[in-house]
Amino acid sequence: MDLKIPKHVAIIMDGNGRWAKEKGKIRLEGHRQGAINLEKIIEHSVKIGVKYLTVYAFSTENWKRPEKEVNGLMELFAKYLDTKKKSLKKQGIRLLVTGTKENISEKLLKKIEETEKYLEDCEKMIFNIAFNYGGRKEIIDAINKIIKDKKETVDEKEFARYLYRPEIPDPELVIRTSGEFRISNFLLWEIAYSEFYVTDVYWPDFTPEEYDKAILAFNKRDRRYGGLNVK
């Protein structure tokens, strides 16, 4: 069977905390294992021909978590950028970080900028990390940019150009791990016509085989974009 591979896959990496709890470990250990798992999923994305992979690593709502967990996630992300950039370069993967800069330390912002720059020539796949990201915030930020530009009206196409990453096409497939049927403020504008796939598997246990199941399910969907699929 000739499989259709979604050009852009977006993943809500949920269940790190539950994974850790079931193993009697602290929550941060779940996030660490989640970061390790990401490697396999990035590799598999390139292997099957995905061109854009977006992952939800930290939401604008995640600041409400205990300080220790928030700091741990910040450190994990900084360490991730430091330790993975060479391997991303080797694989030809360009990294983008998408979200608001608000509340992020100068040091981390500088690291993000440097890492993006280091990988800017890579062309095999764009790996987009949604970090300090909120869908509503992205829309409000776009509206404020439009007001600043003194536009009286905009259409959908023009509006989309004011979002954080206008160069990235909308995701065709959104995957959420650990069984919740929620969108959690993720890519609200961009997912208007995305297919949604939910698996019970916790993110640290989401293997390439589980990923393939999502791709297979995507292939079985009848995508009509609001129209009729008359054959």
Does residue number 6 form part of the binding site for ligand FPP (CB under 6 A)? no
203 is in an annotated binding site: no
Does residue number 135 form part of the binding site for ligand FPP (CB under 6 A)? no
Judged by beta carbon, residue 20 or residue 142, the one nearer ligand FPP is 20
15 is in an annotated binding site: yes
Does residue number 77 form part of the binding site for ligand FPP (CB under 6 A)? yes
Q: 6, 16, 41, 197: which one contacts ligand FPP (CB under 6 A)?
A: 16
Handedness of CA 84, 89, 93, 95 (dihedral sign): positive
Q: Which two tokens stand for residue 225?
A: 């974009």
Does residue number 72 form part of the binding site for ligand FPP (CB under 6 A)? no
Site for ligand FPP in 144-173 (CB under 6 A): none
CA-CA distances (angstroms) from residue 36 to 62, 68, 169? 20, 20, 27
Q: Which two tokens stand for residue 130?
A: 């949604």
16 is in an annotated binding site: yes
219 is catalytic: no
Give me the residue whose beta carbon is nearest to ligand FPP: 17
CA-CA distances (angstroms) from residue 131 to 4, 69, 187, 229? 29, 15, 12, 37
Minimum distance of ligand FPP from residue 13's CB (angstroms): 4
Kindly give the interhelix angle for 67-90 and 106-118, rounded to the nearest 10 degrees.
Answer: 20
Q: 6, 8, 10, 15: which one contacts ligand FPP (CB under 6 A)?
A: 15
Q: 26, 46, 62, 189: which one contacts ligand FPP (CB under 6 A)?
A: 62
Q: Which residues bind ligand FPP (CB under 6 A)?
A: 13-18, 31, 34-35, 38, 57, 62, 76-77, 80, 129, 178, 203
